[in-house]
């Protein structure tokens, strides 16, 4: 019976070649995280609604599981799919605190769900990669530098366009605003966050109307927010504004350490800046904050972000401060795939198609395949003993670079030949010794420059 299907908006599905790219990205990220000693965990897909909604997110972006709610008798709010990995992680830490060693370092690559209108780079189901370090009661500041450096290193290794890490520090902002005498620091941060959407004059007006600032204070806020440098010279620039407060000093010192620490070393395509307008809307951040942007894809807004949160998880007796950063795998990779900036070299893992001469000799072809696989060469045996031209075409359509022929010799033995179907070159080969070039062994990520 025919079934009509249609894509579900916001729930992207990749074809095999594209999926191989996504998997390569995830493998590369995991490799870097593990190189720095971060253990992988996976949390369940659902959380109690009160856990999900406790962090200032609006309820309508959460997908609720209606059936489970009904089963529970409707007395409590039920469960919903998580919309990020930070909130489930905080819950996980509380739940398993007795079995974890602190500081606890973990990374997590999982889908999250959000019920908002889909767009390029914004999906209802998307994969995110998070790294965090969580301490018990205290977490020394140097972990801020450490975890940010890990993400810098992880993203620097990816075959994607240049990335910019833009750092700020909540203590710096709050200390500055407090030193300035602003009545409503939180409202001011929220207004400053609009700076890339509204003109400066409009933001100044909002600071006066919404955050209770005087016009002079508003101007100083703008002066602070427009500081953006690729080194630690922002410290003098902030000092020059003439505001002083102990929290400001602390924030300046922290941001200086993060920028200096993340800038150190050779990078392929990741740059680091202090950008004092970065605030991040989420109110659980307390110190370091970061947003990550991808060159040529500024329209996606940030492809990653994170920061320091001193009290995301607490059981009332112990608090678990943490610092972490997340990278939007779907958000960045899917647009790159759609634009052809990234592509998979082939849709199948097979590097070799072993041709079948006739069904009676299929066993001989199977033996060749087994021999290749014993040396970790991915291969498959032809589906049917069609004319060799058809079998070659089968391989060509799948991007399989080599076809292996097993043929009877006049002297009663068999001969083996392998053909590179891109060049047409065909040579005698030993199934117990032949190996394809390394680049042909597995599907590769192809970038536009190389195409």
Partner RNA sequence: GUGGGUAUAGCUCAGCUGGUAGAGCGCUGCCUUGUGGUGGCAGAUGUCGCGGGUUCGAGUCCCGUUACUCACCCCA
Annotated binding site: 84-86, 114, 128, 132, 280, 284-285
Residue from 40, 59, 72, 119 touching RNA (CB under 7 A): that is: 119
**4 vs 376 by CB, closer to RNA:** 4
Residue from 1, 13, 98, 197 touching RNA (CB under 7 A): that is: 197
Residue from 176, 309, 405, 434 touching RNA (CB under 7 A): that is: 405
Residues between 6 and 35 that touch RNA (CB under 7 A): 6-10
Asked if residue 345 binds RNA (CB under 7 A), the reply is: no
**49 vs 406 by CB, closer to RNA:** 406
- Say how far apart CA 204 and CA 185 lie, in whole Å: 14
Asked if residue 397 binds RNA (CB under 7 A), the reply is: yes
3-class SS of residue 393 = helix
By C-alpha distance, which of 76, 75, 26, 8 is closest to 47?
76
**84 vs 256 by CB, closer to RNA:** 84
Asked if residue 366 binds RNA (CB under 7 A), the reply is: no
**DSSP structural state of residue 252:** H
Rg (CA), the chain: 28
Residue from 79, 81, 82, 84 touching RNA (CB under 7 A): that is: 84
Asked if residue 330 binds RNA (CB under 7 A), the reply is: yes
Using the contact rule CB under 7 A, the part of the chain among 26-34, 173-181, 244-252, 277-285 near RNA is 277-285
Asked if residue 116 binds RNA (CB under 7 A), the reply is: yes
Asked if residue 254 binds RNA (CB under 7 A), the reply is: no
Asked if residue 135 binds RNA (CB under 7 A), the reply is: no
Asked if residue 287 binds RNA (CB under 7 A), the reply is: no
3-class SS of residue 381 = strand
Task: Name the minimum Å distance from CB 280 to RNA.
Answer: 7
Asked if residue 396 binds RNA (CB under 7 A), the reply is: yes
By C-alpha distance, which of 13, 277, 323 is closest to 149?
323
- Say how far apart CA 113 and CA 123 lie, in whole Å: 8
**85 vs 213 by CB, closer to RNA:** 85
- Say how far apart CA 439 and CA 219 lie, in whole Å: 57
3-class SS of residue 436 = coil
Q: Could you tell me which residues come within 8 angstroms of residue 445 by beta carbon, excluding any fewer than 6 positions away?
A: 20, 21, 24, 25, 159, 342, 343, 344, 345
CB contact at 8 A, 244 and 179: yes
- Say how far apart CA 45 and CA 297 lie, in whole Å: 29
Residue from 74, 98, 316, 389 touching RNA (CB under 7 A): that is: 389
Instruction: Name beta bridge partners: 320.
Output: 313
**144 vs 291 by CB, closer to RNA:** 291
By C-alpha distance, which of 54, 53, 81, 55 is closest to 67?
81
Annotated binding site for L-histidine: 84-86, 114, 128, 132, 280, 284-285
Asked if residue 193 binds RNA (CB under 7 A), the reply is: yes
Using the contact rule CB under 7 A, the part of the chain among 160-168, 226-234, 308-316, 349-357 near RNA is 349-357
Q: Could you tell me which residues come within 8 angstroms of residue 392 by beta carbon, excluding any fewer than 6 positions away?
A: 355, 403, 419, 421
**9 vs 244 by CB, closer to RNA:** 9
Residue from 13, 101, 216, 358 touching RNA (CB under 7 A): that is: 358
Enter the tokens of residue 345: 């070299």
Enter the tokens of residue 8: 């579900």
Enter the tokens of residue 243: 């505001």
Asked if residue 399 binds RNA (CB under 7 A), the reply is: no
Enter the tokens of residue 311: 């009290």
- Say how far apart CA 24 and CA 19 lie, in whole Å: 8
Task: Name the minimum Å distance from CB 124 to RNA.
Answer: 7
Q: Could you give the maximum distance between any two Cα atoms of the chain, in Å?
A: 99
Residue from 110, 166, 174, 326 touching RNA (CB under 7 A): that is: 326
Site residues (vs RNA, CB under 7 A): 6-10, 84, 114, 116-123, 126, 128, 193-194, 197, 280-282, 291-292, 299-305, 326-328, 330-332, 355-358, 385-393, 396-397, 403, 405, 407, 417, 419, 421-422, 424, 426
């Amino acid at each position: 019976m025919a079934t009509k299907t249609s894509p579900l908006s916001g729930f992207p599905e990749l074809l095999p070649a594209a999926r191989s790219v996504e998997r390569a990205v995830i493998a590369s990220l995991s490799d870097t995280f593990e190189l720095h000693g971060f253990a992988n965990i996976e949390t369940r897909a659902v959380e109690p609604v009160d856990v999900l909604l406790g962090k200032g997110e609006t309820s309508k972006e959460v997908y609720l599981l209606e059936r489970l709610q009904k089963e529970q008798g409707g007395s409590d709010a039920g469960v919903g799919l998580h919309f990020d990995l930070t909130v489930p992680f905080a819950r996980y830490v509380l739940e398993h605190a007795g079995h974890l060693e602190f500081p606890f370092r973990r990374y997590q690559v999982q889908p999250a769900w959000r019920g908002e209108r889909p767009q390029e780079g914004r999906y209802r189901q998307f994969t995110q990669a998070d790294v965090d370090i969580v301490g018990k009661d205290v977490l020394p500041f140097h972990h801020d530098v450490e975890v940010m450096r890990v993400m810098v290193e992880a993203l620097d290794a990816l075959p994607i366009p240049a990335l910019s890490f833009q750092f700020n520090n909540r203590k710096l902002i709050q200390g500055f605003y407090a030193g300035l005498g602003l009545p409503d620091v939180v409202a001011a941060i929220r207004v400053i966050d609009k700076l890339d959407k509204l003109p400066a004059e409009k933001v100044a007006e909002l600071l006066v109307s919404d955050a209770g600032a005087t016009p002079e204070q508003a101007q100083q806020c703008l002066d602070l927010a427009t500081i953006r440098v690729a080194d630690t010279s922002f410290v003098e620039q902030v000092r020059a504004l003439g505001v002083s407060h102990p929290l400001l000093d602390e924030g300046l010192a922290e941001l200086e350490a993060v920028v200096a620490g993340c800038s150190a070393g050779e990078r392929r395509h990741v740059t680091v800046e202090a950008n004092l307008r970065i605030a991040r809307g989420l109110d659980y951040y307390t110190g370091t904050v970061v947003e990550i942007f991808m060159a040529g894809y500024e329209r996606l807004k940030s492809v990653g972000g994170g920061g320091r949160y001193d009290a995301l998880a607490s059981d009332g007796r112990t608090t678990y401060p943490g610092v972490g950063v997340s990278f939007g795998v779907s958000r960045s990779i899917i647009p790159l795939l759609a634009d052809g900036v990234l592509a998979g070299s082939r849709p199948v893992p097979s590097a070799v198609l072993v041709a079948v001469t006739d069904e009676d000799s299929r066993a001989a072809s199977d033996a060749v395949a087994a021999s290749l696989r014993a040396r970790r060469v991915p291969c498959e045996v032809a589906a049917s003993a069609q004319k060799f031209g058809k079998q070659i075409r089968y391989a060509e359509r799948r991007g399989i670079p080599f076809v292996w022929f097993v043929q009877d010799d006049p002297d009663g033995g068999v001969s083996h030949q392998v053909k590179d179907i891109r060049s047409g070159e065909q040579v005698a080969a030993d199934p117990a010794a032949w190996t394809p070039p390394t680049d042909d062994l597995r599907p590769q990520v192809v970038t536009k420059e190389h195409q």
